[in-house]
Amino acid sequence: MNQQQKKEAEIFATQIRIETLKALGHLGFGHLGGALSIADLLSVLYGGEMKLNPQDPAWKDRDYLVCSKGHAGPGVYATLALKGYFPMEELLTINQGGTHLPSHCDRNLTPGIDMTTGSLGQGSSLAVGMALGQRLNHQDNYTYLILGDGEIEEGQVWEAASFAAQKKLGNLIAFVDWNKKQLDGYIKDINDFSNMDERFRAFGWDSFVINGHDVEAISDAIAHAKSNPDQPTCIILDTIKAYGCSFASEIELNHHITISAEQLASGLAELEAHLAKVVAE
Ligand SMILES: Cc1ncc(C[n+]2csc(CCOP(=O)(O)OP(=O)(O)O)c2C)c(N)n1
Ligand SMILES: [Mg+2]
């Protein structure tokens, strides 16, 4: 990633945060924390890493994304809208009657969503099947999987991890959003998975921890994963839940929050100021 690409990725990540906040702020509530913590990852993936075609979301040669922590759907929708998959105005319909943008990802409703998710853990098995399908079809494609750090307490994740290593699915690249919190508390207090990279390695994967808010580190980590064609990789993203939006990141239990008009305004002002700073650099 050169300096220009890094700047563009940081701008895109901030735009994703802005549009996610606007959409959930318009609704008045939502899973803001876990959507904002993966904005930098989404920026790198959709900003150039993934093979995709917004004009043809079902393009058969595309890479797949499974956002297994399906409650982060609003962050993915903001990304897809910014890429031109559907009109930006649709973001303001999130989670309302008749919308194409439900609170959790649904592949039958939203152009660009490759897999329906929301029941935590299940996306891992689905992604393994999709990556295996790509291999069986001799496709030169990747499947990207986004997991939550609370989500990986689900046993299904580890069944899927074991099978992916057995099948040598080097085209499967997973990420754990290590934002330290789950629905109602801290991971370390509930089921301490702080050695999750060791656990993935024990299951036959390559795995390591990076700063999940550093677009260059994310890009380098994906390049490293791609250099290893016979082993799945899990990149642990050290993140902050609701990163970039102080009113939300300062709330201790910020999994699903209400958003007042004042909070929306302060969050947007903060993000717009950050955007202006990145653009000017
Ligand atoms: C099988 C299942 N159990 C419980 C839930 C309810 N639930 C939704 S989000 C969540 C917490 C997830 O925490 P984490 O994976 O850390 O998500 P993040 O912090 O990235 O938002 C829970 C328990 C669910 N969606 N699926
Ligand atoms: Mg979490």
State the alpha helices, DSSP H only, in 137-254. Answer: 155-166, 187-190, 196-202, 215-226, 246-249
Contact 171, 177 (CB under 8 A): no
Over residues 96-111, the pLDDT tens digits come to 999 999 999 999 999 9
Counting DSSP H helices and E strands in the chain, the numbers are 11, 7
| Domains, the chain, with CATH or none | 3-280 (3.40.50.970)
Is the Cα torsion angle 124, 125, 127, 131 positive or negative in sign?
A: positive
CA of 39 to the centre of ligand 1 (A): 18
Q: Give the neighbor-by-neighbor strand order of the sheet with 172-178.
A: 64-67, 143-148, 172-178, 233-238, 206-211
Over residues 94-147, the pLDDT tens digits come to 999 999 999 999 999 999 999 999 999 999 999 999 999 999 999 999 999 999
Mean pLDDT throughout 3-23? Answer: 98
Q: At what angle do helices 3-27 and 215-226 cross, to 10 degrees?
A: 110
Q: How confident is the model at residue 194 (pLDDT cuts 50, 70, 90)?
A: confident
**Closest ligand (CA of 71):** 1
What's the CA gap between 221 and 209, in Å, rounded?
9
Ligand 1, atom 10: closest residue by C-alpha:
183
Which residues sit with their C-beta closer than 6 Å to ligand 1? 33-34, 69, 71, 118-121, 148-151, 177, 179, 181-183, 241, 255
Q: Which atom of ligand 1 is nearest to the CA of 241?
A: 19
Ligand 1, atom 25: closest residue by C-alpha:
119
| Residue type, position 168, single letter | K
